[in-house]
Chains A and B, each alone.
Chain A
Amino acid sequence: MLRINNHLRQIAYACAFSIVIYLVVFSLILKLPLTTGLTHKYYLKKLAYAAGLESPKIVLFAGSNGLFSHRCDIMAGILAMPCVNASLHAGLSIDIALMGLRNYLKKGDIVLLPLEYDQYTQSRIRMMHNVETNNYIVTYQPEWLVWFPPERILRALFSFDVEYFSSALTETLLSLAGVERRYTMDTLTANGDMKGNTSQKGIEYREFISGLPQPVPDERVFTQQTFDGEREVAKFLSWAETEGITVIGMLPTIFDDKPIPTAVIDKLRKLFTDNNQRFLVIPGNAQYQRNCFYDTHYHLNEECQIRHSASVAHHLQPLLKEILSARVPT
């Protein structure tokens, strides 16, 4: 009987030991140096750059649309204001991304927010289950776990599966071998923009781009319900107002196959204005021909990225003037 019970006890020990090893290995040892690690390096670089800027400064933020389709260096020149591109990528859940954005901001700053359409439509469940975000926080930003409710802390700690394990091994080996991804620290401008994605380099993605669907939200679905992603944006807008930060919502860059429904734009505008913030729509609704895109939707090639940024800056000028002149000097 004793021997038999020993087997059951050994099974219990093996299971418990397995959990302990899992937590240690994934929280402290294994990381994704070439993907999530690079995102973290981008975050630190951009944060350091922002810390050195005088306020009021422009902070541009979105998912990869912000990173690939906008150039702070161009906008800073036209607007004669410091500008940092704080965008990382759309894989991060919107609640955490906006939490991270707060670290860049000081009173008087102006945030440009050309968020991708699917950022607004994220559900609470999707945010909670966002493996990429959960992985990122445990491995690179464990202090952010304090923002999480207990269930999400558990989800974050147990967000690592065998695929992650194989990716981590692959990336670690490639990183040790000196292999770099298409995007590195060198493909980032000092302001935090992605650079060098010329239309010439983008030729090899043409076929892929031509087959992609246009990521325009369904008008009926988008306008008839309030999504958790919107609520997170509203929460951020409200916080920004109390901190003396102005937020200007904008449309993300997408294909021009079909026009964006007016009702969608109106709903987004209302989200910002209801929270005493602004919304800027440039002519053309930030829609461009497919040959303006680099490797996927939301990513303009460099020529169009520069053109779009200049257009945004020119249309932003009068609005900025109005905002800055309305502020009471302290």
Chain B
Amino acid sequence: MAEATFPSQRRAAFRWRPYDFIWVAGSVLVLLGIWGIWQRASAGLAPTNLSSYVPWGLWVGFYDYLVWLEVGSLMLFTALIYLAGNKQLARIKPIVLFTGLVVLLMALFIVFLDLGHPERFWHVFVYPDFTSMITWMVWLHSTYLVILGAELLLTLWGNEHSERWLRVLGLLSLPAGLALILVSGSIFGVVAARPLWNSSLLPLMFFISALATGAGVLLLLTVVFWPDKSSAEYGQMVRFMARIAAWMLLAGVLAASIIAFTTLYQGSPARTDALLLILTGPYWWSFWILHILLGVLVPLFILFTMAHRPLWVGVGAALSIATFVTVTLNIVIPVLVTPEIEGLATAFVHPKLTLDYVPNVMEWSVIAFVFGFGGLLYGLGLRWLPVLPHSVEAHNE
């Protein structure tokens, strides 16, 4: 009987694929995040631990982190393909573009949720003030979304004329990405009220850090998604990308060290208080253990000494990527919890007029939702879109 056999045939047609764990994990994270999102939707920003004196926190830190991942990886990839002429790397182009797009959407989602009036986000397009770095950030991010979307469409479903357009879009994405990353740093760099932020070096540090994290992303994508893992080309490419990632990481360490040493040497409390909070405050471990040890030293050791072992290289890249969020969180939070005017937090007392900030469960729950959303998109994209390099797909089939 056709009615009886058809459903079972459909069930038999579903086969698990290796990357399906991504959307499964995404679904779990969405479930964990539903509570936070419901809180956000029903009570606004009140349930967060944000206050008037610490108006930005976990979500802004994650936003900048995701911008670093997205723009850093895409800029480096585009530069390697179109400027350095590395044709081999183009084999993983669809997955690199798709990863960038998913991360970009996650970043925009987080910053949307951080608004007191998210329903008015369109005001930035209708009533823009171009003296504000946030205006530039939104406009550039939207431009980047359009460029990236077009690149992905042409890469996945283009014809023989697409390559020319892809080159144009790729070259356009370089200045757009550079501007976006510099503007993201300038959002903090132009604030004279916060001495540790207020530095022309900060946008440059954002750029170097974006390239360092972006190189990690590209390395991980190369390790995981390279089409033919038994070929000599795979080993070559992993070693090549590992070298780039390691040197980028070292450049980031150098830039951060210069800022730290010059700041500590001049010793002005307005600057050093926030920096000392990062280095020796209650969350010192986020900097020294998570970032320096697990995010820099261990990956550097792996990348320099075990570049011929892709599995370890992948672990090193993943460690570096995952722990880099502590950098953006340490840029955003310690500066804000350092008082601008002593005694203000005790002048009029309320939980929303305090300098104590530690992200609460609700904030983490919303982060889980956004990452779940990203995981779902990514996992389903890997399953249904032709983003995987061909031999990987053939192998999985």
Do A and B pair up? The answer is no
